[in-house]
C-alpha cells in the first residue's frame, strides 16, 4: 500500500518461514497532543503537522524500526517529529500502538511467563515452538528480568490483588517458611542463601473432626492464595510482610502456620500481634519419628510407638507428650539424648500444639501450602542443576514464580503496560 499524506505510518511483516500475511497499514487519528514529549503547553495536532502549518514541530523524516510481537518479527515504518521548542524527537505512532520498546506487551508477557515455568533455554525453545518467535536464552532472560521489575513497580497501584482477596470466602491464613537458593555474589564467590517464602490464603472451614480422623478428613482447598518470596534479612522480609498485608487489606488473621523456626514466629508476632499460631503437624511428627528410631530402631515396635505418640500429640498436645516421655526410664545415653531433644523442641512450641481444638473448628494443622510453595514456587524453577543467581535477579524471578504459583498472573497485568 503506497504511503500518502493521510497514512504516513505503516507496519510491514518481515518474511518468515512460520508467519506470512499481507502488510499491515495503520492510519492514525488526529490527536491534540504528541504523548511522547512532556511539555508545558499543548503540541499542535497531527493534522497540522502533516500539513506543515506550524514551525513549532514538524515532520522530519521517516525511519524503520524492527520489533518483535507474538505475531512475528515486524518492521515499523513511521515518521518522527522534532519539536524546536523543547529540542526533542518523538514517535507518536509508537506510543499509540504501545511499541516504544523492541518487544510488544503481549510478547513480553508470554516470554516472562515461559521463564517463570522453565529455564531460560527451555523457555526460548518453547516460545519458538508455541508462537514461532525465536529469541536467544540471554534475550528472553533479559526480557523476563525487566518485565518483573515493571510489574513490581506497578503493583502498588494495582487494586486487582486486594479485590480478589477481599471477594474470596473463608478465614484468612498466613504461612511462612524458607528454602535455600544458590547465589553468585558480586566478588564471584558462590554460596547458598535462604529465600524466605510467605503466603496469605483464605479457606472455608472443614467439617469438625476428631484427632483419629485427621488423616482422612477433607480440608477445602483455599479460595484464594497470594504468595511472595525474596532473599532478604529478617527485618526486611518482616517489612515486606507488612506491605503485602496492607496491599491485600488484611487486618487480622485467623491462623498462622510454620515449622517451628524462631524467626518465623518472631515475624508473625511483629506483623500480626497475638494470633492463633500452629506448629506444622508434619514437622512435629518428623521430630517424634526421629526420637522413635533412636528408641526402637525401624521395626514394628517403632511403628506401634509412633502410632501411639501421634494420637497423643494430636489429642493432648505438649502435656500428653511430656507425660509419655517422662515415663521412659533406664535409657542409655544415646536414647536419652533423643528423648531430651524431642522434649525441648515440643516445649519451645507448647502453645502452638492445640491440634485437637483446631480439628474441632475445621481449621488446618499442616503447613503443606507453604511447603508446596517452597518446592514448586522456588525449588522447581530456581534450584535446577547448575543454577546460580544474582540476588536481584533471583528476587525478580521469585516474583514471577509467586504470581504463577498463586494464580495471580492475570491480576498482575491488569495495571501493567
What's residue 416's pLDDT? 61
The answer to whether 13 and 21 have CB atoms below 8 angstroms apart is: yes
Q: Are 198 and 138 within one domain?
A: no
Reading the chain (417 residues) residue by residue, the pLDDT tens digits are: 444 444 444 444 444 444 444 444 333 333 333 344 344 444 444 444 444 444 444 545 566 778 888 777 778 777 777 777 777 777 776 767 666 778 888 899 999 999 999 999 999 999 999 888 899 999 999 999 999 999 999 998 999 999 999 999 999 999 999 999 999 999 999 999 999 999 999 999 999 999 999 999 999 999 999 999 999 999 999 999 999 999 999 999 999 999 989 999 999 999 999 999 999 999 999 999 999 999 999 899 999 999 999 999 999 999 999 999 999 988 898 899 999 999 999 999 999 999 999 999 999 999 999 999 999 989 999 999 999 999 999 999 999 999 999 999 999 999 765
How many CB atoms within 10 Å of residue 403? 26
- 5 inside domain: no
- The reply to whether 340 and 227 lie within a common domain is no
Distance CA 113, CA 152 (A): 15
Angstrom distance (rounded) from CA 39 to CA 328: 82
DSSP string, 289-305: HHHHHHHHTTSHHHHHH
**Among candidate residues 98, 148, 151, 103, the one with its CA nearest the CA of residue 127:** 103
**In this structure, is residue 417 part of a structural domain?**
no
Query: Are 30 and 177 in a shared domain?
Result: no
Q: Specify whether 212 is located in the same domain as 336.
A: no
Q: Please, what sign has the CA dihedral across residues 404, 410, 416, 417?
A: positive
Residues 267, 288, single domain; the answer is no
All cell numbers assigned to 158: 494495582
Q: Are 116 and 401 in contact (CB under 8 A)?
A: yes
Cα(373)–Cα(385) distance, integer angstroms: 19
d(CA 115, CA 118): 5
Say what the pLDDT of residue 68 is: 83
Residue 37: predicted pLDDT: 39
The answer to whether residue 227 sits within a structural domain is: yes
Q: Are residues 332 and 194 in the same domain?
A: no
Q: Specify the residue for cell string 534475550.
A: 139
Last residue of a domain, one of 352, 374, 393: 352
CB contact at 8 A, 244 and 402: no
Dihedral angle, C-alpha 225, 231, 236, 237, nearest 10 °: 20
3-state percent helix, strand, coil for the chain, nearest multiple of 5: 45, 20, 35
Are residue 21 and residue 92 in the same domain, yes or no? yes
> In this predicted structure, what is the pLDDT of residue 92?
73
On whether both 110 and 96 belong to a single domain, the answer is: no
Given a contact cutoff of 8 angstroms between Cβ atoms, the answer to whether 283 and 264 are in contact is no
Q: Within a domain: residue 220?
A: yes
Would 357 be classed as within a structural domain? no
Segment holding 345, helix H or strand E: helix 333-348
The answer to the question of residue 40 being in a domain is: yes
* 4 domain residue, yes or no: no
Let me know whether 115 and 185 are in one domain.
Answer: no
Look at the chain and report how many structural domains it folds into: 4
Same domain, 253 and 381: yes
Q: pTM here?
A: 0.81
Give the length of the chain: 417
Determine the Cα–Cα distance for residues 195 and 340; give it in Å rounded to an integer: 31
146: enclosing H helix or E strand = helix 137-154
Q: How many CB atoms lie within 10 A of CB 341?
A: 14
Claim to verify: residue 296 and residue 332 sit in the same structural domain: yes
Residue with cell 492463633: 276
Q: How far apart are CA 125 and CA 133, in angstroms?
A: 9
Quote the CA–CA distance of 30 and 139 in Å, as a whole number. 36
Of the three residues 87, 102, 117, the one that is the final residue of a domain is 102
Residue span of the structural domain in which 176 resides: 158-280+366-412
Q: Are residues 275 and 162 in the same domain?
A: yes
Residue 217 CB neighbour total at 10 angstroms: 13
Amino acid at each position: 500500500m503506497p504511503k500518502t499524506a493521510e497514512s504516513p505510518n505503516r507496519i510491514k511483516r518481515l518474511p518468515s518461514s512460520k508467519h506470512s500475511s499481507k502488510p499491515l497499514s495503520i492510519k492514525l487519528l488526529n490527536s491534540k497532543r504528541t504523548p511522547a514529549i512532556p511539555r508545558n503547553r499543548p503540541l499542535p495536532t497531527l493534522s497540522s503537522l502533516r500539513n506543515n502549518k506550524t514551525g513549532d514541530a514538524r515532520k522530519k523524516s521517516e525511519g524503520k524500526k524492527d520489533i518483535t510481537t507474538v505475531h512475528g518479527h515486524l518492521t515499523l515504518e513511521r515518521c518522527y517529529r522534532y519539536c524546536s521548542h523543547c529540542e526533542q524527537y518523538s514517535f507518536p505512532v509508537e506510543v499509540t500502538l504501545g511499541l516504544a520498546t523492541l518487544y510488544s506487551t503481549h510478547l513480553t508477557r508470554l516470554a516472562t511467563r515461559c521463564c517463570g515455568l522453565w529455564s531460560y533455554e527451555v523457555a526460548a525453545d518453547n516460545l519458538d515452538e508455541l508462537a514461532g518467535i525465536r529469541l536467544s536464552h540471554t534475550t528472553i532472560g533479559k526480557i523476563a528480568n525487566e518485565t518483573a521489575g515493571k510489574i513490581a513497580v506497578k503493583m502498588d497501584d494495582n487494586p486487582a490483588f486486594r479485590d480478589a482477596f477481599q471477594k474470596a470466602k473463608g478465614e484468612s491464613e498466613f504461612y511462612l517458611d524458607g528454602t535455600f537458593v544458590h547465589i553468585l555474589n558480586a566478588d564471584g564467590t558462590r554460596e547458598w542463601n535462604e529465600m524466605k517464602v510467605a503466603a496469605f490464603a483464605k479457606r472455608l472451614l472443614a467439617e469438625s473432626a476428631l484427632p483419629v480422623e485427621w488423616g482422612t478428613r477433607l480440608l477445602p482447598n483455599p479460595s484464594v492464595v497470594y504468595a511472595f518470596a525474596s532473599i532478604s534479612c529478617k527485618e526486611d522480609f518482616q517489612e515486606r510482610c507488612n506491605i503485602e498485608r496492607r496491599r491485600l487489606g488484611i487486618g487480622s488473621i485467623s491462623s498462622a502456620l510454620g515449622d517451628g523456626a524462631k524467626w518465623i514466629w518472631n515475624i508473625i508476632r511483629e506483623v500480626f500481634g497475638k494470633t492463633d499460631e500452629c506448629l506444622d503437624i508434619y514437622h512435629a511428627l518428623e521430630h517424634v519419628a526421629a526420637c522413635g528410631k533412636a528408641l526402637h530402631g525401624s521395626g514394628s515396635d517403632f511403628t506401634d510407638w509412633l502410632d501411639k505418640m501421634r494420637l497423643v500429640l494430636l489429642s493432648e498436645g505438649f502435656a500428653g507428650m511430656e507425660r509419655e516421655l517422662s515415663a521412659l526410664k533406664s535409657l542409655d545415653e544415646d536414647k536419652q539424648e533423643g528423648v531430651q531433644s524431642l522434649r525441648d523442641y515440643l516445649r519451645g512450641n507448647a502453645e502452638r500444639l492445640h491440634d485437637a481444638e483446631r480439628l474441632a473448628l475445621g481449621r488446618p494443622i499442616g503447613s503443606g501450602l507453604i511447603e508446596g510453595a517452597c518446592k514448586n514456587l522456588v525449588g522447581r524453577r530456581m534450584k535446577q542443576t547448575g543454577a546460580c543467581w544474582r540476588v536481584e535477579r533471583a528476587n525478580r524471578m521469585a516474583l514471577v514464580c509467586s504470581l504463577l504459583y498463586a494464580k495471580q498472573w492475570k491480576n498482575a497485568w491488569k495495571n501493567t503496560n
